[in-house]
Amino acid sequence: MTVRRIGYGAMALTGPGGWGKPANPAAAKDVLRQALDLGVQLFDTADSYGPDVSEELLADALHPYPGDVRDRHQGRLDPGRAVAASRRRPARAPASNV
């Protein structure tokens, strides 16, 4: 699969300093939908953003994901949390870390 060069880094969707929920979760979901409408295919998330907030917002805003959308997850803090977060998303082939 070819992925466009421009992706969306989801850390900015969380609360101040990358911690907690955003002040306006609905607006954060609108940003994700608009990025998709503008052609973004790659959403870069990590369970440490929030923690888990960026992944939850992504799932709430875009699920079910269009076939050409990929989410790239950075390092996991705790395998148990990774499993819980993944229950909200369908399995997808990870994007390359190139």
Query: Catalytic amino acids?
Result: 49
The terminus-to-terminus CA distance of the chain in angstroms comes to: 13
Of the candidates 85, 77, 17, 83, the residue with the CA atom closest to the CA atom of residue 53: 85
Q: Which helix (H) or strand (E) holds 46?
A: strand 42-46
